[in-house]
Amino acid sequence: MTDKFKSGFAAIIGMPNVGKSTLLNLIAGQKIAIISNKPQTTRNKILAIHTTDDYQIVFTDTPGIHKPHNKLGEFMVKVANESMNEMDVVLFVVDATRPINEMEKEIARNIDKTGVPAILVINKVDAVKKEDLLPIIADYSSLHEFSSIIPLSAKTEDGAELLLKDIEALLPEGPMFYYEDMVTDQPEKQIAAEIIREKMLWLLDKEVPHGIAIEIEKMQELSDITKIYAVIYCEKGSHKGIVIGKNGEMLKRIGQKARADIEEMLDKKVYLELWVRVKNDWRNSDRMIKNFGYEV
């Protein structure tokens, strides 16, 4: 460690589906946040920790900022907006393939109010022509005076090293907040639950996964295997049938795909047992939202 060690907190914010979770996983070097082609995948703040000999950056991935339709949605937007005030750096992630929208203009105004240094991360540049980047940069530059603007592809990792250097430049001198070998503060139980939810987001219809919550009832560590017993909660009885599928085939597919990822995370054989139950309209229940780990 150098004499002048730097450390600080960086919030990754932006609209749903711009690649925030992919960027977080890239920085961490492993899956921490779940990824899906459906919006509003992330429901809570997730920490990834990047430590070198000279600095430590603690990243928070936040829910995509959107117009909320229920109490869970309101919580997600509240988390995203409040996270900016607690940070040393804000990373505003945008999608190079999509034009600026009104919500992104509002995000830029909120960044202005905080006074926190912000880096604009233009993601998915691998999907656009280089000559199309300049007008995109000009459009976003008119919204806020960013500390720097980084064209990046979280998919190909192009631009990631430059982003880390620019974040380091904005960090204050400070202590190491977490042990140098830590990559996240998320318990394995929570990551396992999120991996199960990710597989459902990929495999099921548009509306069903957003009415889904996962509870790990028991996680038993044995010498040669980890046994996980999880309950999938649906909002409607009709959704339960979709999740289970004909002859239980869908639930089996969800379990197989989730188990493979959990085994990779734990580096150990996993036995995964899934049950499906109904909790009507839980996303509008303060009590249920808190039960599933989302503090309102």
Return per-residue pLDDT of the chain as tens, 296 residues: 556 899 999 988 888 888 887 888 888 776 666 555 544 444 556 678 899 999 999 988 765 454 544 555 555 556 555 666 678 999 999 999 999 988 888 888 888 888 889 999 999 999 999 899 999 999 999 999 999 999 999 888 899 999 999 999 999 999 999 888 888 777 788 888 888 988 888 888 665 656 788 888 888 888 889 999 999 988 888 888 889 999 999 999 999 999 998 888 788 899 999 999 888 766 666 665 565 555 54
Domains of the chain: 6-170 (3.40.50.300), 188-291 (3.30.300.20)
Phi and psi based region of residue 35 (left: phi greater than 0; alpha: psi -120 to 50; beta: remaining): beta
Enumerate the β-bridge partners of residue 45: none
Query: Up-side HSE of residue 60: CA atoms within 13 Å toward CB?
Result: 23
DSSP 44-87: S-EEEEEE-SSEEEEEEE-PPP----SHHHHHHHHHHHHHHHT-
Helix H or strand E segment including 225: strand 225-234
Q: Rounded to whole angstroms, how far apart are CA atoms 18 and 37?
A: 10
Query: Up-side HSE of residue 249: CA atoms within 13 Å toward CB?
Result: 3
